[in-house]
Structures are given as C-alpha cells and as structure tokens.
Amino acid sequence: MSFTGTTRTTPSTLSRWLGYARSNPATVFCAGVLVIFLLIALFAPLLAGDPLKIDPAQRLRPPSDSAIWGRDHLGRDVFARAIYGTRVSMLVGFSVAILVTVLGVAIGIYAGLSTIGGAIVMRLADALMAIPAVLLAIAFASLMNAGLLTVIIAITIPEIPRMVRLVRSVVLGVRQQLHVTAAISIGTSGLALVWRHILPNTLGPVLVQATYACASAIIASAVLSFLGVGLSPEVPSWGGMMADARQQFRIHPVLMLYPGVLLSLLVLAVNILGDRLSDALDPRKARRSGL
Amino acid sequence: MTSNPVLSVDMLSLEFRTSGQCVHALDKVSFSLARGETLSLVGESGCGKSVTAMAIMGLLPKNSARVTSGSIRLDGTNLIGLSERQMQTIRGNRIGMVFQDPMTSLNPVHTIGMQIAEAVRRHKHVSKKDAWARARQMLERVRIPDAANRLLAYPHELSGGQRQRVMIAIALACDPELLIADEPTTALDVTVQAQILELIGELKTELGMSVLLITHDLGVVAASADRMMVMYAGRIVEEGPVERVFARPSHGYTAGLLRSLPGHGAQRRGLLAEIGGTVPRLDKLVEGCVYAPRCAFAAGPCTAALPPPRQIEAGHRSACIRHEAVFGAMADNDIVRSWA
C-alpha cells in the first residue's frame, strides 16, 4: 500500500488544552461555573456564616456588612443560606446522575438484549413515565422519612425510565452493528461482549442523558423544597429559600432572585457541558476538536 | 478434494420462520473444502451465500433460523449440535471471518491493537504483553506499515483497505484452519480489491489455511479461487474447478452470469445481456429447477422434477438437464473462449 502512516506530532498536553479552550470558550466558561459551584459547596463554612441562626430583630434587613445579601423574614443571613443551599443542589444533582446512570444502564442493557425481559421492563417504564416525575417524587418522598437520601431516591426513581429507554434503544442499534457480529465471530461472548463492545458504544448518549438527569434533579430538588416535601424547612436549599421569599415577593423581590439566578446558572452550565462532553467523547468528533 | 476435508457441509437445509412465514434459505447444500484450498461461493444477492457462511459460524439468530437437516463438519466435528459455549471456542480460533464492510466491522471505540489483542486473548492463554506482541506481528503480516504505531490508531484513522487488512489480522490472529471471507472486497476500490485478494492468497499459502470466499464478482473468482460453486435460490446449481466452470459453463444460471459480463473484442460493443425476472420468493419449495422460470434454455422437463446434480467432467457437477444446450450456446462467448 502506498499509504504510510503519517507521523502524528504530539503537542504538549497544556498547549492542546489551551487550543481547545480558545476554540470552545462556552465550554470553558461552563466548566468554570461548575468548578466554582463545586468549591462553594465544599468550602461553604469558610465563605459564609451560620445559615440557621434566627434573629427576629434583624428580619428583612437590607444588605449590610454582616449579611451582604440582606436577611430573610426570620432574620437569617440570605448569603449564607444561598451558599449552603449549593450543597443540597450539587449533592442531589450528582447523586441522582450517578444512580440513574448506573441503574439505568444496567436495566437498559438487559432490556436491550433480552426479548421477553425487555418487553416487561419497557412496560414498567411506560407505566412510570405516565405519571409526572414531580408528582411521583412527591409521592415517594411522603412515603419515607424526611432527609436528603429520601429526596435523592424520590428523584432518582422517576428519572430511571428515561435512561432505560435511551440505553435500550441504543443497545438495540449497537447489537445489530457489524462490529458486534464481528466480535462474536472471534469468540467474544456474554459479559465481555457487553462490557467491551456494547457498553462503550452507548456511553456518548448515556453521558448526555446523565447530565440532563443531573440538571433536572437539581430543578426537581428545588421544586420539592419549594413545595416543602422531603427536606425539613430549616435546611438551607434554593427551593426552600424561594418558597420563603414568595411571601415577601412584592416588597423584597431580590430574596427570590438570588436562589433563582444561582439555580439557573448551575443548571445551564451542567446542560451545556453535557452537550460538549458528548462531542468530546465521540472518538470521531474528538479528533476534529483537537482534544 | 482430498479424503480429509477441513470443512464438509452435507445436505444442509435451513429455514427462517417469522410470524407465520417460512423461508427456505438453504436447500440441501453440500460441499467440502480441502486443506489449503480456496473455494468460491458465487451468486446474486439473496441466494444464500451469506446465510451459508453465517450458518457455519453459528451466527444466525437462534429464534428465527432453524437447520432442518444436514450437517456442517469442521475436521469431522459436527458444528450443528454444538452448544453456544462450544461454538465460542471455535469462532475466531478455528474459523476466522472477514465481513463485507470494513467501515463498520471494527469497534469504533477501541484501538485496533486492542481489537486484535482481544481476539488472541479470547482463545490463547497469554499475557497482555504477548497478545500485543502478537497483534503487532499480525499487523506486519497483513502488510500495514509502521505497525508499532498503528496499533494505537482508532478505526476511523484508517482507510477502507487498511481496515479490511486489520479485519483480516483479527480473523487470523489465532491461526484458524478456515477463513470465511464474506464479500471481502465489495466495499473497496478496485485497486484495493486486488491488493486485498492478493494478501488473502499470500496468507493462505503462508499459514496453510483454507478459504471460503463468498462473492458476487466473477472477476474475484477468476483471480483467486481454486474451485467455485454457483448458488441460486438456496441451492448449489453448479460446482467445479474455476477454469473448468468458466471453460464449460453447464448451467443456465452460470451461463446467464457469464453473459452479463462485458466481453473482450467484438462482443464488447452492444448492450450487456441481463437475466430477466427476479429471484423467486423462497417461501414455497419449487418442484423442478428453481431457475427454470428465468432460464433461456428451459424446456418442459425442467419444471417437472428437481434435476439431480450430474457429473459433467471430473469434479465438475451441474444440476441442469439442458447442460449440453447451455454449453452449445456459450461456446462462442468471449470469456468462455478465453478459458477454453
């Protein structure tokens, strides 16, 4: 053959990352936002004071040195509550994303490979999806004790069918592909076939779906706190803050604005990163983008 | 044919059942493949070539495909009764397979080195390092330059011809006795086709394996096969040494295929002949010769009863009662004359 392999010049890792950053500013911005939120969640005690301390004398005070975003109707520090509220959102978002991915992929692959089992699983998924996710989450949350774990489980269960459907549809396509037949033709079977040939080819769509699950879990946790389900009201969370601020909306609209903007920013960052991630993980597109 | 064939398929009948329909994909197919021989299976789309290959590999869907009779013996072992687990030790180890489309037959998410090494590690108990060494050796063997670096390439970084070379490397990684090449050159450029066929031929001699070459391209058959079988509607209609079948076509269908090729001198001009009609539906078994409705030489007795294969010359058989008439009409064909 006349084609001789082109020697690939490998630029340093740093310059590759810099090149990627220059051509994808939105990705870098979103990753930055996410990292900042992560740091805020991790180091909340260092950044803000006590989010639980009630001081009726200070209620609805405008911003001051002791509370830079003002105080709420119980005299609590709004800034501190917003900072600590990041923890709930991040924890719920990421836990749900991981749980949904692990469970959804396992069930989805089973449903894609087994004809009868698949039919049963899909009917169950249809049944779950027929009920609005938030309604289902409220039902689950009210069945269990209040707490973070309850919220996570209550949001995870309605999210799983989406992931199962997606994974199953991808698996149905992948298992028909010639390279899977080719893998069988060299004697690959069972778990090795799933692990090496089917699973990796579902990862792209699964990752995108996981980020969507993460984003919708963050929103769902806010909705649940807003409705007062799952977490006890004194726990600082963005949804809870918005519920509290609702009563003062006409006089102090900023109280609702702070958690609302943070929530939008975090969800937007997660969603955009998911899209970019799926491009970067596709081996064909990754080469093009230079990463 | 020697007394000890690598592969012998005997009276193999196979049908597909899907919701009330039953398609007879293979009807009493028998052939054998000697050690070191290249046997070519020729026919148009849907005639059962690939089904034969998939049946040998045991890759047909278990819920719809059913072998109704016959046997497939690899070195004397009947593959039909084997369990899935037993078949796994044969696939890739004793039979290698190369598929038609090299663009999709490699896993896009793994490097080619990993995919060749996987084939080795699946069957041989060797360390990862040894498997990679073997992968590199195989890449060199299929003449891919700069093998050590190319091991780390992903399939999309290779050209079609190179991917097919990688597929061959994977199929041959465990030194199989039999290579099934299912239209290995159909998806490739003409110049690359020749290189791939040449490579398969060289490796066959190097490794001493047998090749079952499935194709619809008579040019490929002429270039690389020792013997050929012409298949039509799930039956083998003519079989023999390549040069004898080309020199003395003895079945209406073979004649039709040869006529539809462009000739050399005077016959080059003018319209190409075509075979009228289409492949019959296979849901009902036909009494007589399946090709008779489209055959230019068909006579009354053709549709009466299934013509048994008859010996034309040594090793050359045809299931055609009008083979004299066929050969008579084909004697002045350019291609036939050039082989005679």
Which of B74, B87, B88, B107 to mutate: most A Cβ within 10 Å? B107
Rounded Cα gap, residues A47 and A49, in angstroms: 7
pLDDT at A5: 47
Decide if A243 is inside a domain: yes
**Domain span at A94:** 24-289
Q: What is the pLDDT of residues A155-208, one digit of tens each?
A: 999 999 999 999 999 999 998 888 998 898 888 888 889 998 999 888 888 988
Domain CATH for A272:
1.10.3720.10
What's the pLDDT at A290?
Answer: 47
> Residue A287: which pLDDT band, with cuts at 50, 70 and 90?
low
Does a structural domain hold residue A101?
A: yes
Give the pLDDT mean for A122-144: 90
Band of pLDDT at residue A144, cut at 50, 70 and 90: confident
Nearest CA in chain A to B157: A284
- Tens of pLDDT, residue by residue over A234-248, are 889 999 999 988 888
**Distance in angstroms (rounded) separating the CA atoms of residues B179 and B114:** 21
> CB distance A178–B63 less than 8 Å?
no
Beta strands B95-98 and B178-182: pairing type?
parallel
Torsion angles phi and psi, residue B304, rounded to 5:
-75, -50
In a domain, A146, yes or no: yes
Place of tokens 């209609």: B237
Domain assignment present for A16: no
In this structure, is residue A94 part of a structural domain? yes
Would you say residue A7 has pLDDT above 80? no
pTM given for the model: 0.78
Digit-coded pLDDT (tens) for A32-76: 999 999 999 999 999 888 888 888 888 888 888 888 888 888 889
pLDDT of res. B2: 47
pLDDT at A8: 53
Share of chain A above pLDDT 70, in %: 92
Quick check: A2 pLDDT over 70? no
Indicate the residue of B101, B123, B157 with minimum beta-carbon distance to A187. Answer: B123
Q: What interface predicted TM-score (ipTM) does this complex get?
A: 0.77
Q: In chain B, what are the domain boundaries?
A: 7-225, 232-269+279-339
Q: Which of A4, A178, A203 sits opposite B145 (nearest CB)?
A: A4
∠ CA A141-A144-A146, rounded to 5°: 75
The number of domains in chain A is 1
Instruction: State pLDDT tens for residues A261-274.
Output: 999 999 999 999 98
**Confidence at residue A3, expressed as pLDDT on a 0 to 100 scale:** 46
Q: How far is B107 from chain A (nearest CA, A)?
A: 5
The contact set of B with A (CB < 8 A) is 57, 59, 63, 84-85, 88-93, 96-97, 99, 101, 104-110, 118-119, 122-123, 143-146, 149-150, 153-154, 156-157, 159, 161-162, 167, 170-171, 173-174, 195
Q: Do B157 and A287 touch (CB under 8 A)?
A: yes
Residue A97: band (very low, low, confident or very high) from pLDDT cuts 50, 70, 90:
very high
Q: Which residue of A has its CA nearest to B145?
A: A4
Residues ≥6 apart with Cβ < 8 Å to A119? none
Please name the amino acid found at residue B32: S
pLDDT above 90 coverage of chain A, percent:
48
Q: What is the CATH number of domain B7-225?
A: 3.40.50.300
Per-residue pLDDT 10s for chain B (340 aa) are 445 889 999 999 999 988 778 888 998 899 999 999 999 999 888 888 999 999 999 988 888 888 999 999 999 899 998 898 899 999 999 999 999 888 889 998 899 999 999 999 989 889 999 999 999 999 999 999 999 999 999 999 999 899 999 999 999 999 999 999 999 988 888 888 888 999 999 999 998 999 999 998 898 899 889 999 999 989 999 999 999 999 999 999 999 888 888 776 555 666 777 888 887 888 777 788 889 888 888 888 888 888 888 898 888 999 998 888 888 888 888 888 888 7
Q: Assess whether pLDDT exceeds 60 at residue A291.
A: no
Best of B109, B128, B186 to disrupt the A interface (most A CBs within 10 Å) is B109
